[in-house]
Amino acid sequence: MDGLVRNRKIVDKYSVRGRVFHKIRDDILEGKYEMGEEIRETRIAGELGVSRTPVREAIRQLELEGLVSVILNKGAVVTGISPQDIEDIYNIRTLIEGLASRWAAEKISPRELKELEDIVDLTEFYINRQETEDLVVLDNRFHEILYESSHSKPLQHILSPFHHYVQNARRTSLSTPGRAEKALAEHKKILQALKAKDADLAEATTNQHVKNAAYNLLKNKFPR
Amino acid sequence: MDGLVRNRKIVDKYSVRGRVFHKIRDDILEGKYEMGEEIRETRIAGELGVSRTPVREAIRQLELEGLVSVILNKGAVVTGISPQDIEDIYNIRTLIEGLASRWAAEKISPRELKELEDIVDLTEFYINRQETEDLVVLDNRFHEILYESSHSKPLQHILSPFHHYVQNARRTSLSTPGRAEKALAEHKKILQALKAKDADLAEATTNQHVKNAAYNLLKNKFPR
DNA sequence: CTTGGGATAATTGTATACAAAAGTACCGCT
DNA sequence: AGCGGTACTTTTGTATACAATTATCCCAAG
């Protein structure tokens, strides 16, 4: 399941700071913190067996990501991602994810195209097992590579964290009957458009893909 | 010229770290660093008369903003904002800045509306002096408050740094003859739509406003 | 002259120390 | 009991110290 993973993360995970950063980040996104809960540097440092320095640097980075809010001389409180934030993110992605596809159609490299193909093939292989977690990972990679293929730093900079933030929401979405199959079919269409270098088609299908995902998600949230 | 400024910054500027952060950030945006230039923590610390700790924290935050790129055990190199990045940013803003206006039309508070009105009035007052710098500041505030008025954390999180990044580009754009007047007229139309709570109109006029700004900017970049 | 190796210096990564601010608890006073 | 003030504790902010990694330079071997 691994092997084609490269250095895709902004914050490397081999330094102590990087590990701390991803630990706190994932804990927040997985709901292990309450909203408004205060983060004590010494506690985190103690739990992870490190000093306060890397913990502080990680918290400062999370501040910039908007996941915590730091008050001078008082500390950091968890802000996290609210349901409203998730809805907003999907609305924004519906408008600009297609742009990533458009630019990808113009700039994608053979290697990136090959990676997308591999992921689609793998998804087809895994889709019958109903192992949602694997499908989420593959979905992550598909979109992550799509963002890279746009070769636009600003766009990647927006979409990559956004996609990460809604990972939990996507997990439940991909586990609803039929959604994984539809998502795969949509990924295939996007891939075809990219192979054909058809920017208009790539943009349209991608925007529709996000729109469908958003609909599926919000339908679950507000049933009927 | 000041007075209605509140605590709009993500990173406060009263801590040493905050001052260092904004110093390096502005230096990068103003082109005081070469692309690929390495940042030495000790040098910055020495120049600003502080220790390495706040400098490191600031650099880590700049890493997350994408303005520098940190390599483990090697240091930070300046990435900055390329002309291509600026073009990309305008393309993205053209798609989503209107969304900020749409949501603002639905959620703006009387206080925020008043602030926008004040800014428009001030702009009208300053526009004859041909003091571009003042107009840039007022333009900053208009858009910043617009973003706040959307009451969307994700949207604000994208647009606020984007708008800051292209500040230099906007400066030259606003100094071209007639552009400031046109921008003011467009701001007025946006404001009217917000006052009327007309979400569709607010979105359309704002998108057009960004599109015009982009056109004016890129026209200068690629004359004829 | 070029190249490889190794000591040395410079730089980053993490830990600890100290200073300053904020929170807490206890006591006396009204 | 309620209020306020003061000592004490906790927590954050910054500085410094130490460890680990990387860069530099010099010299000798080919």
pLDDT exceeds 60 at position A223: no
Name the stretches of chain B with pLDDT < 70.
Answer: 1-8, 221-224
What percentage of residues in chain A have a pLDDT greater than 70?
Answer: 95
Measured from the CB, is A74 under 7 Å from any atom of strand D? Answer: yes
Residues A140 and A183 in one domain: yes
Residues A93 and A198 in one domain: yes
pLDDT exceeds 70 at position A98: yes
Residues B66 and B124 in one domain: no
pLDDT for A131 equals: 85
Chain B residues within 8 A of A95 when measuring between CB atoms? 95-96, 99
Confidence of residue A224 (pLDDT cuts 50, 70, 90): very low
Residues A59 and A91 in one domain: no
Tell me the nt nearest to A75, Cα to C1'.
D12
Per-residue pLDDT averaged across A78-101, rounded? 97
Query: Which segment of A85-94, A111-120, A184-193, B129-138 scores lowest on mean pLDDT?
Result: B129-138
Nearest to A96 by CA among B84, B211, B150, B95: B95
Residues A30 and A97 in one domain: no
Chain A residues within 8 A of B72 when measuring between CB atoms? 12, 14-15
Residues B88 and B73 in one domain: no
Q: What is the pLDDT of residues B8-50, one digit of tens each?
A: 677 888 899 999 999 999 999 999 999 999 999 999 999 999 9
Chain B residues within 8 A of A82 when measuring between CB atoms? 153
Q: Does A51 touch chain B (CB under 8 A)?
A: no
pLDDT exceeds 70 at position A7: no
* Residue B117: CATH number of its domain: 1.20.120.530
pLDDT for B224 equals: 45
Q: Does A34 touch chain B (CB under 8 A)?
A: no
Residues B28 and B120 in one domain: no
> Mean pLDDT in chain A?
93
Q: Would residue A176 count as lying in a domain?
A: yes
End position of a domain, from candidates B41, B62, B78 = B78
Q: Does A17 touch chain B (CB under 8 A)?
A: yes
Confidence of residue A222 (pLDDT cuts 50, 70, 90): low
At A1, is the secondary structure helix, strand, or coil? coil
Q: Is the dihedral of CA B162, B163, B167, B171 positive or negative?
A: positive
Residues A63 and A174 in one domain: no
d(CA A64, CA B12): 11
* CA atom of A73 to C1′ atom of C27, Å: 28
Element spanning A75, H or E: strand A75-78
Measured from the CB, is A58 under 7 Å from any atom of strand C? Answer: no
pLDDT for B3 equals: 42
d(CA A84, CA A90): 10
d(CA B157, CA B166): 15
Residues B175 and B120 in one domain: yes
pLDDT for A196 equals: 98
Domain total in chain B: 2
The angle formed by the CA atoms of residues A134, A136 and A138, to the nearest 5 degrees, is 70
Residues B59 and B142 in one domain: no
Compute the CA torsion angle B12, A78, A19, A64 (nearest 10 deg).
-30
Between A218 and B52, residue with greater pLDDT: B52
Residue A92 near residue B99 (C-beta atoms within 8 A): yes
Q: Please, is A177 exposed, middle or buried when counting C-beta atoms within 10 Å of its C-beta (0-12, 13-18, 19+)? A: exposed
Q: Which domain holds residue B21?
A: 16-78
pLDDT for B2 equals: 43
Measured from the CB, is B130 under 7 Å from any atom of strand C? Answer: no
Query: Which segment of A16-30, A129-143, A201-215 scores lowest on mean pLDDT?
Result: A129-143
Q: What is the pLDDT of residues A8-52, one digit of tens each?
A: 677 888 899 999 999 999 999 999 999 999 999 999 999 999 999
pLDDT for A9 equals: 73
d(CA B36, CA B24): 15
pLDDT exceeds 50 at position A4: no
At A207, is the secondary structure helix, strand, or coil? helix
Q: Would residue A10 count as lying in a domain?
A: no
